[in-house]
Amino acid sequence: MEIDFVQFSVELNLRVLEAEELYRFYHSGDEEVKALRGVHLALGEGEMVALVGPSGSGKSTLLHCLAGLDEPDGGTVRVMDHVMSRRSEAEKLRLRSRYMGIMRQKDNLFAHLTVAENVALVQSLSKPNDAGMTEAIYARIGIAGRKSSLPSQLSGGERARAGLAVAMACQPSILLLDEPTGEVDAETETAILGLLTEYRRDGGAVIVATHNPAVARLATQTLSMKDGKIIDG
Ligand code: ADP
Ligand code: MG
Protein backbone atom coordinates (compact mmCIF):
# COMPACT_ATOMS: atom_id res chain seq x y z
CA MET A 1 0.00 0.00 0.00
CA GLU A 2 1.31 3.45 -0.86
CA ILE A 3 1.05 6.14 1.77
CA ASP A 4 0.50 9.71 0.69
CA PHE A 5 3.07 11.35 2.95
CA VAL A 6 2.25 14.89 1.89
CA GLN A 7 -1.38 14.44 2.82
CA PHE A 8 -0.37 12.67 6.03
CA SER A 9 1.93 15.45 7.24
CA VAL A 10 -0.56 18.20 6.40
CA GLU A 11 -3.27 16.46 8.40
CA LEU A 12 -0.94 15.83 11.29
CA ASN A 13 0.20 19.47 11.31
CA LEU A 14 3.17 18.90 13.60
CA ARG A 15 3.17 21.25 16.56
CA VAL A 16 6.54 23.00 16.67
CA LEU A 17 6.04 25.45 19.53
CA GLU A 18 3.61 25.44 22.41
CA ALA A 19 2.98 27.63 25.45
CA GLU A 20 0.78 26.47 28.31
CA GLU A 21 -0.49 28.84 30.99
CA LEU A 22 2.52 31.19 30.88
CA TYR A 23 2.97 33.77 33.62
CA ARG A 24 5.74 36.36 33.94
CA PHE A 25 5.91 39.00 36.68
CA TYR A 26 8.55 41.72 36.86
CA HIS A 27 9.42 43.46 40.11
CA SER A 28 10.93 46.85 40.61
CA GLY A 29 10.86 48.06 44.21
CA ASP A 30 7.36 47.47 45.59
CA GLU A 31 5.85 47.48 42.11
CA GLU A 32 4.83 44.27 40.38
CA VAL A 33 4.16 44.23 36.64
CA LYS A 34 2.17 41.24 35.46
CA ALA A 35 3.66 41.05 31.96
CA LEU A 36 2.10 37.65 31.13
CA ARG A 37 -1.06 36.36 32.78
CA GLY A 38 -1.86 32.83 31.62
CA VAL A 39 -0.95 32.73 27.94
CA HIS A 40 -1.68 29.65 25.82
CA LEU A 41 -0.64 29.25 22.23
CA ALA A 42 0.29 26.61 19.71
CA LEU A 43 2.22 27.02 16.49
CA GLY A 44 2.14 24.32 13.83
CA GLU A 45 4.57 23.56 11.02
CA GLY A 46 4.17 26.08 8.19
CA GLU A 47 1.94 28.35 10.26
CA MET A 48 2.46 32.00 11.04
CA VAL A 49 1.07 33.63 14.16
CA ALA A 50 0.94 37.42 14.35
CA LEU A 51 0.95 38.91 17.85
CA VAL A 52 -0.68 42.30 17.88
CA GLY A 53 -1.61 44.66 20.69
CA PRO A 54 -0.64 47.95 22.27
CA SER A 55 2.82 48.75 23.54
CA GLY A 56 3.34 47.15 26.96
CA SER A 57 0.79 44.36 26.37
CA GLY A 58 3.44 41.63 26.75
CA LYS A 59 4.40 40.71 23.16
CA SER A 60 8.18 40.94 23.66
CA THR A 61 8.00 39.19 27.04
CA LEU A 62 6.07 36.33 25.43
CA LEU A 63 8.59 35.99 22.58
CA HIS A 64 11.51 36.03 25.04
CA CYS A 65 9.86 33.31 27.17
CA LEU A 66 9.14 31.20 24.07
CA ALA A 67 12.78 31.49 23.01
CA GLY A 68 14.10 30.62 26.48
CA LEU A 69 15.78 34.04 26.71
CA ASP A 70 13.56 34.81 29.70
CA GLU A 71 12.20 32.31 32.21
CA PRO A 72 8.44 32.31 32.86
CA ASP A 73 7.34 32.39 36.52
CA GLY A 74 4.69 29.82 35.72
CA GLY A 75 3.69 27.57 32.88
CA THR A 76 5.55 25.58 30.27
CA VAL A 77 7.10 26.19 26.86
CA ARG A 78 7.63 23.22 24.54
CA VAL A 79 9.80 23.36 21.45
CA MET A 80 9.44 20.40 19.10
CA ASP A 81 8.03 18.48 22.08
CA HIS A 82 11.06 19.31 24.26
CA VAL A 83 10.33 21.25 27.44
CA MET A 84 12.21 24.57 27.28
CA SER A 85 11.18 25.98 30.69
CA ARG A 86 13.08 25.37 33.94
CA ARG A 87 16.17 23.96 32.24
CA SER A 88 19.79 25.04 32.51
CA GLU A 89 20.98 27.92 30.34
CA ALA A 90 23.18 25.47 28.41
CA GLU A 91 20.21 23.22 27.64
CA LYS A 92 18.06 26.18 26.60
CA LEU A 93 20.83 27.43 24.34
CA ARG A 94 21.13 23.98 22.75
CA LEU A 95 17.38 23.79 22.05
CA ARG A 96 17.29 27.37 20.80
CA SER A 97 20.21 27.01 18.43
CA ARG A 98 18.92 23.71 17.09
CA TYR A 99 15.42 24.85 16.24
CA MET A 100 14.99 28.61 16.50
CA GLY A 101 15.98 31.83 14.81
CA ILE A 102 15.31 35.00 16.77
CA MET A 103 15.20 38.62 15.76
CA ARG A 104 14.64 40.92 18.71
CA GLN A 105 13.34 44.48 18.60
CA LYS A 106 16.97 45.66 18.73
CA ASP A 107 20.47 44.52 19.67
CA ASN A 108 20.60 41.54 17.35
CA LEU A 109 24.25 42.08 16.45
CA PHE A 110 27.44 42.16 18.50
CA ALA A 111 28.82 45.65 17.94
CA HIS A 112 32.49 44.60 17.65
CA LEU A 113 31.82 41.93 15.00
CA THR A 114 31.07 42.36 11.30
CA VAL A 115 27.81 41.08 9.83
CA ALA A 116 29.57 37.93 8.55
CA GLU A 117 31.24 37.35 11.93
CA ASN A 118 27.87 37.72 13.69
CA VAL A 119 26.38 35.13 11.35
CA ALA A 120 29.37 32.78 11.78
CA LEU A 121 29.12 33.03 15.57
CA VAL A 122 25.50 31.88 15.55
CA GLN A 123 26.34 29.11 13.10
CA SER A 124 29.19 27.88 15.32
CA LEU A 125 26.59 27.06 18.02
CA SER A 126 24.48 24.96 15.69
CA LYS A 127 24.84 22.35 12.99
CA PRO A 128 27.56 22.94 10.37
CA ASN A 129 26.39 25.21 7.58
CA ASP A 130 27.76 25.20 4.08
CA ALA A 131 29.18 28.45 2.75
CA GLY A 132 26.97 28.32 -0.37
CA MET A 133 23.84 28.30 1.78
CA THR A 134 25.10 31.25 3.82
CA GLU A 135 25.81 33.24 0.65
CA ALA A 136 22.29 32.43 -0.60
CA ILE A 137 20.84 33.80 2.65
CA TYR A 138 22.83 37.04 2.27
CA ALA A 139 21.73 37.41 -1.34
CA ARG A 140 18.09 36.70 -0.60
CA ILE A 141 18.05 39.17 2.31
CA GLY A 142 19.93 41.76 0.25
CA ILE A 143 22.86 42.28 2.62
CA ALA A 144 25.61 40.53 0.59
CA GLY A 145 27.40 43.81 -0.16
CA ARG A 146 27.57 44.78 3.53
CA LYS A 147 28.70 41.57 5.18
CA SER A 148 32.15 42.96 6.04
CA SER A 149 30.63 46.01 7.75
CA LEU A 150 30.34 46.61 11.46
CA PRO A 151 26.80 47.24 12.80
CA SER A 152 27.66 50.91 13.44
CA GLN A 153 28.34 51.34 9.71
CA LEU A 154 24.88 50.10 8.69
CA SER A 155 21.66 52.04 8.10
CA GLY A 156 18.53 51.08 10.10
CA GLY A 157 17.21 49.00 7.20
CA GLU A 158 20.54 47.25 6.74
CA ARG A 159 20.74 46.50 10.45
CA ALA A 160 17.31 44.88 10.29
CA ARG A 161 18.39 42.80 7.28
CA ALA A 162 21.57 41.76 9.10
CA GLY A 163 19.49 40.82 12.17
CA LEU A 164 17.32 38.66 9.96
CA ALA A 165 20.41 37.04 8.39
CA VAL A 166 21.57 36.11 11.92
CA ALA A 167 18.09 34.73 12.73
CA MET A 168 18.05 32.63 9.55
CA ALA A 169 21.71 31.63 9.64
CA CYS A 170 21.06 28.08 10.82
CA GLN A 171 17.97 27.47 8.70
CA PRO A 172 15.73 27.27 11.77
CA SER A 173 12.41 25.42 11.93
CA ILE A 174 10.86 28.29 13.87
CA LEU A 175 11.39 32.03 13.42
CA LEU A 176 10.53 34.41 16.27
CA LEU A 177 10.49 38.04 15.15
CA ASP A 178 9.87 41.07 17.33
CA GLU A 179 8.60 43.95 15.20
CA PRO A 180 10.92 43.15 12.27
CA THR A 181 9.61 46.04 10.15
CA GLY A 182 9.45 48.52 13.03
CA GLU A 183 12.20 50.82 11.83
CA VAL A 184 12.82 49.94 8.20
CA ASP A 185 12.39 51.63 4.81
CA ALA A 186 9.74 50.47 2.32
CA GLU A 187 12.23 48.48 0.24
CA THR A 188 13.46 46.51 3.28
CA GLU A 189 9.86 45.90 4.34
CA THR A 190 9.09 44.40 0.93
CA ALA A 191 12.23 42.21 1.17
CA ILE A 192 11.20 40.98 4.63
CA LEU A 193 7.64 40.20 3.49
CA GLY A 194 8.97 38.24 0.50
CA LEU A 195 11.35 36.32 2.69
CA LEU A 196 8.69 35.35 5.21
CA THR A 197 6.40 34.15 2.42
CA GLU A 198 9.17 31.97 0.98
CA TYR A 199 10.27 30.67 4.36
CA ARG A 200 6.72 29.52 5.13
CA ARG A 201 6.29 27.97 1.72
CA ASP A 202 9.32 25.84 2.61
CA GLY A 203 7.55 24.63 5.79
CA GLY A 204 8.97 27.10 8.32
CA ALA A 205 6.84 28.33 11.24
CA VAL A 206 6.79 31.98 12.27
CA ILE A 207 5.63 33.92 15.31
CA VAL A 208 5.90 37.64 14.86
CA ALA A 209 5.01 40.61 17.04
CA THR A 210 3.98 43.41 14.74
CA HIS A 211 2.11 46.67 14.33
CA ASN A 212 2.35 46.34 10.57
CA PRO A 213 -0.92 45.28 8.83
CA ALA A 214 1.04 43.99 5.80
CA VAL A 215 2.94 41.55 8.04
CA ALA A 216 -0.23 40.54 9.93
CA ARG A 217 -1.97 39.81 6.61
CA LEU A 218 0.55 37.03 5.90
CA ALA A 219 -0.38 35.28 9.14
CA THR A 220 -2.53 32.15 9.42
CA GLN A 221 -3.66 33.35 12.84
CA THR A 222 -3.67 36.74 14.57
CA LEU A 223 -3.62 36.87 18.36
CA SER A 224 -4.41 40.14 20.12
CA MET A 225 -2.69 40.79 23.43
CA LYS A 226 -3.79 43.15 26.16
CA ASP A 227 -2.42 43.46 29.69
CA GLY A 228 -0.48 40.19 29.46
CA LYS A 229 -3.34 38.12 28.06
CA ILE A 230 -4.46 36.93 24.66
CA ILE A 231 -7.88 38.46 24.30
CA ASP A 232 -8.90 36.87 21.01
CA GLY A 233 -7.68 34.59 18.29
P1 ADP B 1 5.26 44.87 24.35
O2 ADP B 1 6.36 44.13 23.68
O3 ADP B 1 3.89 44.40 23.99
O4 ADP B 1 5.40 46.35 24.18
P5 ADP B 1 6.60 44.08 26.82
O6 ADP B 1 6.59 42.60 26.85
O7 ADP B 1 7.88 44.74 26.41
O8 ADP B 1 5.38 44.60 25.93
O9 ADP B 1 6.23 44.63 28.25
C10 ADP B 1 5.14 44.13 29.02
C11 ADP B 1 5.16 44.81 30.39
O12 ADP B 1 6.27 44.35 31.14
C13 ADP B 1 5.29 46.32 30.31
O14 ADP B 1 4.53 46.88 31.37
C15 ADP B 1 6.78 46.54 30.54
O16 ADP B 1 7.02 47.80 31.12
C17 ADP B 1 7.12 45.42 31.49
N18 ADP B 1 8.51 44.94 31.36
C19 ADP B 1 9.05 44.36 30.25
N20 ADP B 1 10.33 44.00 30.48
C21 ADP B 1 10.61 44.35 31.76
C22 ADP B 1 11.76 44.26 32.60
N23 ADP B 1 12.88 43.68 32.16
N24 ADP B 1 11.67 44.73 33.86
C25 ADP B 1 10.52 45.29 34.33
N26 ADP B 1 9.40 45.41 33.60
C27 ADP B 1 9.43 44.96 32.33
MG1 MG C 1 7.84 44.81 22.40
Q: What is the mean pLDDT of residues 14-31?
A: 93
Strand partners, 112: none
Sign of the torsion formed by the C-alpha atoms of 37, 40, 45 and 49: negative
Q: Which residues line ligand 1 (CB under 6 A)?
A: 26, 28, 33, 35, 53, 55-61
24 CA distance to ligand 1 middle (Å)? 10
At 69 the three-state DSSP class reads coil
Atom 7, ligand 1: residue with shortest CA distance: 60
In the chain, the N- to C-terminal Cα span, in Å, equals 40
Digit-coded pLDDT (tens) for 52-103: 999 999 999 999 999 999 999 999 999 998 999 899 999 999 999 999 999 9
99-129 pLDDT, tens per residue?
Answer: 999 999 988 999 999 999 999 999 988 876 6
Report the C-alpha gap between 221 and 14 in whole angstroms. 16
Q: Which pTM does this prediction carry?
A: 0.92
Atom of ligand 1 nearest to the CA of 228: 10
pLDDT at position 131 over 90: no
Q: Taking the CB of residue 100, how many other CB atoms lie within 10 A of it?
A: 26
- The pLDDT assigned to 9 comes to 46
